[in-house]
Amino acid sequence: MISFSPIIDLAASAKLTSVNMREYYERYGVAWDVAAIESQTADLDNFDLIADGVAVGAVRLSYESDCCYLRDLQVAEGYKNRGYGAAAIAKCVQLALSKGARVLKLKVFQISPAYRLYERSGFVVESSDDRFYYMSRVL
């Protein structure tokens, strides 16, 4: 069972994103460091992903009109492939519905294994570019 808790340490959460995304940033020449991630995510709805009392990841959401945007979903090394990502998506759906959203949207690097998680979770590709799939799920 997982839960969301508002992030208290935004810098630590930004570091998790930086560590998890480093391969993609390096491959595509994205110049994001921990400070940039922290700055870019400060205005989002930031949540720690809690399992058995331990922060095992982070989720970041934003809202616009009737859409909820999953801006970031990170699971810490050592906790991956245990169902936390799928459980986090289910929680995102619940939260989005409670806020009146009708669609959940995201973008994911095409080379990311998270693409398969999103696909299994009911997201479909709306469009793509040279790096990303832009996906959505009707709620």
What are the structural domains of the chain? Answer: 2-101 (3.40.630.30)
Average pLDDT over residues 114-120: 97
Q: Are strands 54-64 and 2-6 parallel, antiparallel or unpaired?
A: unpaired
Quote the tokens at residue 68: 């909820």
E strands in the chain: 2-6, 45-51, 54-64, 67-75, 103-109, 124-128, 132-138
The gap from C-alpha 106 to its chain's centroid, in whole angstroms, comes to 8
Average pLDDT over residues 43-51: 96
Instruction: Name the pLDDT band for 31 (thresholds 50, 70, 90).
Output: confident
Provide the pLDDT for residue 89.
Answer: 97
- Distance separating alpha carbons of residues 33 and 22, to the nearest angstrom: 9
**What share of the chain in percent tops pLDDT 70?**
100
Range list of H helices, 10-81: 10-28, 34-41
What's the mean pLDDT when you consider all of the chain? 94
Kindly report the CA angle at 30 between 89 and 78, in degrees rounded to 5? 45
Instruction: Name the pLDDT band for 102 (thresholds 50, 70, 90).
Output: very high
Q: Are strands 67-75 and 103-109 parallel, antiparallel or unpaired?
A: parallel
Lowest mean pLDDT, pick from 36-45, 89-98, 106-115: 36-45
